[in-house]
Chains A and B, each alone.
Chain A
Amino acid sequence: MLSVKDLKVSYGAIEAVKGISFDIKDGEIVALIGANGAGKTTTLHAISRLLDIKSGTIMLDEKEISKMAPEKIVSVGLAQVPEGRRIFASQTVFENLKLGAYLRKDTVNIENDIKHCYELFPILEARKTQLAGTLSGGEQQMLAIARALMAKPKVLLLDEPSMGLSPLLVKEIFSIIKEINKSGTSILLVEQNAKMALSIADRAYVLETGKIVLSGTGEELINSDEIRKAYLGG
């Protein structure tokens, strides 16, 4: 579905991603885990074209997308939930969801899909006329995910959805991610929270200072000594 080959991305002279390759097959949840500063966000931004790549290829279903305009990426089936709960603070929950469908031509189905989002996240329905900036952290994260779903993506890119949330909320969000995946959306999950990410991932890659140092199925990695020592606290 989505495949990344020899991707290099740099900020000026500093190379943040140093030639990584990975892929996501149809219907998979793939996790990209790594410590702070490993290059996870940089990788996601390169895929969704918020950053220019230095070299490498990014293919979605046989289609090269690494030269596309950032606003076109959504229309080929990739939607990103950016790091840090970037919602449209001065607009209502409902309007945020509508903006998620900004590029969709099938306007008649949008109302229905908003209803579907409310089923997935009932709290958003209760808050639908509230300004998004007044939501709690967890609600904002849910809104950011729901908004991305409104684009009807084939692949959903999630950047640290657990960041700054209580363990209980993290559990809730991850079970919803799993549910989204079950209904047919492939997922690239970027996380520092390795334990949670590996628990739902089919496969995972470990990123360290811009390089992939380990990969395997979620189960393999959760049981590997290296991962235990480095990411799961022993």
Chain B
Amino acid sequence: MANIKDKIKNIYKKKNSGVMSYTIVIGLYLVMEILMKTGNLTNLIKSLLVPCVCYIIVAVALNLCVGLSGELSLGHAGFMSIGAFTSVVVSGTLEEVITNDILRLVIAVIAAALVASIIGYLVSIPVLKLEGDYLAIVTLAFGQIIKSIIGNIYLGIDEKGFQFSFIEDTTKISENGKMLISGPTGATGISRISTFTAAVVLCIIALIIVYHLINSKDGRAIMAARDNRIASLSVGINVTRTKTLAFVMSVMLAGAAGAIYGLNYSSISPAKFDFNQSILILVYVVLGGLGNINGTIIAATLLYILPEMLRSLADYRMLIYALILIVIMLVTNNDKLKNRINELLRRKKKHE
């Protein structure tokens, strides 16, 4: 009986317009801004703000794919990478033409989202028609391939225009020009136009998009296709189309977040966006709860900040991080443990 009640509660949670999510994000933003203005933030924390919000966005985006649509993606870091390098190229190219940083940032983010979604669409064509976890395999390979491809691109610009070479650097950029991407080194000399505020604004936009989708007819169809393929076809849902929609939306947001991420550093290398990053983002989603956006935001925030806070522990850092992950996993996924915790809480309440 209690179980059914919980489930009914879930329905109302699902139907909500995301007020809680917006509150968490805006609340975090205000607290951080106040701490920053009053000089109460260490440089370490300040440097973590933008990437943390970027990972929140990518994790929320991945939840759209894994939680809502039920398709596992192991390559979201690859789409972040595409977004990051697209934005760096666009912003670097437009640096003299558009001197307004905010406008240039907006253009770079839109370009990144566009490129990521086009590539995501092409990747999804052969796999989303099939039943089974093919997307996981293909995105896993895709992440690695993207890392290698970007790691071999040499792209520069000078007064004669773009110069491009692959694998070996044969570009001859004049003194007035600059390299935008230099193979494994990645991009250097990036003008850092991302800001915490810009990241939070993108996060809010991402949440609006995600909640709008969840509560729309398309969102219902995406969940239906996840729940039961045959039943979905039997009511006339184009399963391939809905799964593609969820995936493309998801990588579009990952690309946009990658853009803010990339333009936050003076240099980024393609090796930064490897398989481990994809798994880390997936961990945020799984621990936050599949389909649970609030959970994802909180998990991404805590789990991104945590290892940085543990830095003073040096070598033991990853060990402790792993232990904490295991404990959280056990607590959130083990019914027995959950019941025991519930019992303890109930007992406490009775005592009060």
Contacts and interface: CB of A to CB of B under 8 A. Distances in A.
B105 interface: no
Nearest to A92: B11
B237 A50 contact: no
Contacts of A99: 220-221, 224, 235, 237
A88 B235 CA distance: 11
B234 A74 contact: yes
A129 B9 CA distance: 10
Given A91-B220, A99-B235, A147-B231, 19 more contacts: A48-B233, A50-B230, A50-B233, A70-B233, A71-B238, A79-B234, A87-B231, A88-B224, A88-B232, A90-B226, A91-B223, A99-B220, A99-B237, A100-B235, A102-B237, A130-B8, A131-B8, A148-B235, A151-B235
B234 A48 contact: yes
A103 B230 CA distance: 16
Most B CB contacts (10 A, CB to CB) among A82, A88, A130 go to: A88
Interface in A68-102: 69-75, 79-82, 86-92, 95, 98-100, 102
Contacts of A199: none
B11 A82 contact: no
A55 interface: no
Contact of B228 (A74, A80, A88, A148): A88
Nearest to B217: A102
B314 interface: no
A90 B236 contact: no
Nearest to B239: A71
Interface residues of B, number: 24
16 contacts: A48-B233, A74-B235, A75-B236, A79-B234, A86-B230, A86-B234, A87-B228, A89-B228, A91-B223, A102-B221, A130-B4, A130-B7, A134-B3, A134-B4, A144-B231, A151-B235
A129 B8 contact: yes
Secondary structure class of chain A's binding surface, majority of residues: mixed
Contacts, number: 83
B231 A73 contact: no
Contacts of A95: 220
A131 to B, nearest CB: 5
Interface of A: 48, 50, 69-75, 79-82, 86-92, 95, 98-100, 102-103, 129-131, 134, 144, 147-148, 150-151
Contacts of A102: 217, 221, 235-237
Contacts of A80: 234
A84 to B, nearest CB: 9
B242 to A, nearest CB: 10
Nearest to A45: B230
B133 interface: no
Contact of A90 (B4, B227, B235, B238): B227
Interface in B303-340: none
Contacts of A88: 223-224, 227-228, 231-232
A70 B224 CA distance: 16
Interface in B155-205: none
A233 to B, nearest CB: 32
Contacts of B4: 130-131, 134
Contacts of B217: 102
Contact of A131 (B7, B232, B238): B7
Nearest to B238: A71
A99 B223 CA distance: 11
Contact of A72 (B10, B11, B236): B236
Interface in B224-259: 224, 226-228, 230-239
A71 B96 CA distance: 51
Contacts of A73: 236
B4 to A, nearest CB: 5
Contacts of B8: 129-131
A39 B234 CA distance: 19
B215 to A, nearest CB: 11
A89 B227 contact: yes
A147 B220 contact: no
Contacts of A74: 234-236
Nearest to B234: A80
A90 B222 CA distance: 12
A48 B231 CA distance: 11
Contacts of B227: 88-91
A81 B233 CA distance: 11
Contacts of A70: 233
A79 B235 CA distance: 7
A150 B231 CA distance: 13
B30 to A, nearest CB: 34
Given A102-B217, A129-B11, A134-B4, A90 B234 contact: no
Contacts of B234: 48, 50, 74, 79-82, 86, 148
Nearest to A89: B227
B233 to A, nearest CB: 5
A102 B236 CA distance: 7
Contacts of B220: 91, 95, 98-99
